[in-house]
Chain A
Amino acid sequence: DIQMTQSPSSLSASVGDRVTITCRASQGISNSLVWFQQKPGKAPKSLIYAASSLQSGAPSKFSGSGSGTDFTLTISSLQPEDFATYYCQQYYSYPLTFGQGTKVEIK
C-alpha cells in the first residue's frame, strides 16, 4: 500500500499569510494526487487534481506542485473561509490512500 504523509499536522496562521502544506508518498505516484479541503460536518471538497490542476470552481489562491513522491499545496493569501482541514489523496493505485490531514487554524 502507498502511505501518504502530510506535514505539518496542524498550523496556526494569520489572515493574509501564505501557507504551504506538504505531502509525501511512500513510492512514486506520478502526478496522481488530489488535494481536498474539509470543513466540520461537511464532505471533502476537491481543490487540486493531477497534483497541479485547479478544480473547476476552486479559487485561484490555491495551487499545487510536485510529482513522483513529493507534493505541496499553497494558499497564496489565507482568508477566514480557508480555515479548515486539508487532505492529500493518491489515486495512482488501490487501495486509495489519504494523508492524515493538516488543520489550519487562526493565529
Chain B
Amino acid sequence: EVQLLESGGGLVQPGGSLRLSCEASGFTFSNSAMTWVRQAPGKGLEWVSTSGGSTYYADSVKGRFTISRDNSKNTLYLQLNSLKAEDTAVYYCAKDLRRPWDAYWGQGTLVTVSS
C-alpha cells in the first residue's frame, strides 16, 4: 500500500525557516517524480516544486524553497526559507502527478507564518 506521510509543519515567524519531510513507502521511491503542492486556507491548489529527472519550482517560491530527496531513506524534503505570510498553507506531498494513473497524495502538513 502506498503511503506518504508529511511532517515538519508548524508556526514560524515571517523571515523564518522550516523543513518539511515526506516519508514514502509502498512503491519504488527512487523511480518516482515527487511533488509538493500547497493550499492556502480557503483557497485552491498551487503546485510548488517537483523532483524527478530534473527539479522544477514555481516562480512564487524560486530562490526561497529547495526541494531535495534521500532515496536511501525514501524521503522527500522541502526547505522553506525567507517565509512570508502568504506561504501559510497546507503542504501536500504527492507522487507521479504527471503519471496520474499512478499518482498518490499524502494528507498534508500545515505551515503557518505569523508573528
Interface residues of B in 83-115 (CB under 8 A from A): 92, 97-98, 100-101, 103, 105-108
Check: B11 CB closer than 8 A to any chain A CB. no
- The total of chain A residues at the interface (CB under 8 A) is 24
What is the predominant secondary structure among interface residues of chain A facing chain B?
loop
Q: Is the CB of B44 within 8 A of A87?
A: yes
Q: Is the CB of A101 within 8 A of B101?
A: no
- The total of chain B residues at the interface (CB under 8 A) is 19
Chain A residues within an 8 Å CB radius of B107: 42-43
A-B contact count (CB 8 A): 52
Q: Is the CB of B47 within 8 A of A46?
A: no
Taking A34-B103, A91-B98, A94-B50 as given, write out 19 further A-B residue pairs in contact, using a Cβ cutoff of 8 Å, ordered by the A residue number.
A34-B100, A36-B45, A38-B45, A42-B107, A43-B106, A46-B100, A49-B100, A49-B101, A50-B101, A53-B101, A91-B97, A94-B56, A95-B58, A96-B35, A96-B98, A97-B47, A98-B45, A100-B44, A101-B45
Check: B23 CB closer than 8 A to any chain A CB. no
Leading 8 A-B pairs by shortest Cβ distance: A49-B100, A43-B105, A96-B47, A34-B100, A98-B45, A91-B98, A94-B56, A101-B44
Cβ of A91 to closest chain B Cβ, rounded Å: 5
Q: Is the CB of A91 within 8 A of B35?
A: no
Complex CA distance for A43 and B59, rounded to whole angstroms = 23
Chain B residues within an 8 Å CB radius of A53: 101
- Whether A46 touches B103, Cβ cut-off 8 Å, given contacts A91-B98, A95-B56, A96-B35, is yes
Check: A14 CB closer than 8 A to any chain B CB. no
Check: A28 CB closer than 8 A to any chain B CB. no
Check: A63 CB closer than 8 A to any chain B CB. no
Chain A residues within an 8 Å CB radius of B101: 49-50, 53, 55-56
Chain A residues within an 8 Å CB radius of B59: 95
Chain A residues within an 8 Å CB radius of B105: 43-45
